[in-house]
Amino acid sequence: MINLQAIDDAVGADFHCHLDLYPEHIALIGECEKLKILTLTVTTTPKAWPRNRELTESCSYVQAALGLHPQLVSERANELPLFEKHLAETRFVGEIGLDAGSRFYSSFAEQEAIFSRILSMCAEQRNKILTIHSVRSVSKVLKHLEKNLLPFNGRVILHWFTGTENEVRKAADIGCYFSINDEMLKSQKHRNLILQLPLDRILTETDGPFIQRAGKPIRPAQSTLTCVELSKVRGLEPYQMKNVILKNAKELLAYI
């Protein structure tokens, strides 16, 4: 369980990574604990949850989330009952969401059915914190969030958000947070979008191991470097950006 007191000495925050997809899964959990990196490690199938939970339940800084990745819905929709079974065991949900990219569009109707069902289960249990994928489907994702969950029955972090300025405003209005990664900071278009984000809704993420730094899968501790890059975009000193991120993280995690 994340210990809210421990958050006071956290040095960084990675709100979306996949520790269980690194060969050194266990060592990385230890590294995040030792270096005091608040880490939300997502899962992609409900079957992966029990092991992830077991490995993180005694952690102070690392928390696992229960997920059903939209890109896996076509093969894993049958795990939805398992998702439902485990949901009461955690406050953290992800990776979930929608993906309307060409490779996954054929399962889009099924993705929507599952996403909507997961959101209503989360709303019913309240108090959940969700990290959400929204590739080419931001307006649909926001519509489902408004219908089923926000603004009162949960908290949402939009992971690797690539919507429009209008969608930023809409998402912020219903209470969403935004987790920013290295790849987003490389694009001028996304840097412009990041300038529109309310400062009190910004978090950092790595999405490791899917993002590389210096030719190797990025590690959660390197989210502190992402924070430095982000400070330049926002015109803040690195320590100010870090304080903003950690304050936002603390407010989010203290949500009841």
**Which residues are near Mn ion by CB under 5 A?**
95, 207
Please name which of 127, 159, 125, 123 lies closest in space to residue 141, comparing C-alpha atoms: 159
Sequence-distant (≥ 6) Cβ neighbours of residue 153 within 8 angstroms: 122, 123, 124, 126
Output the smallest distance, CB 79 to Mn ion, in A.
17
SS3 call for 252: helix
Cis check: omega of the bond before 217, within 30 degrees of 0: no
Sequence-distant (≥ 6) Cβ neighbours of residue 223 within 8 angstroms: 12, 13, 14, 37, 204, 205, 206
Nearer to Mn ion, 20 or 207 (CB): 207
Is 79 within 8 Å of 68 (Cβ atoms)? yes
Nearer to Mn ion, 175 or 209 (CB): 209
Nearer to Mn ion, 159 or 170 (CB): 159
Nearer to Mn ion, 221 or 244 (CB): 221
Output the smallest distance, CB 18 to Mn ion, in A.
6
Output the smallest distance, CB 49 to Mn ion, in A.
16
Output the smallest distance, CB 95 to Mn ion, in A.
5
SS3 call for 217: strand
Output the smallest distance, CB 16 to Mn ion, in A.
6
> Using CA atoms, how far apart are residues 60 and 247, in angstroms rounded to an integer?
17
Nearer to Mn ion, 14 or 95 (CB): 95
Per DSSP, what are the bridge partners of residue 246?
none
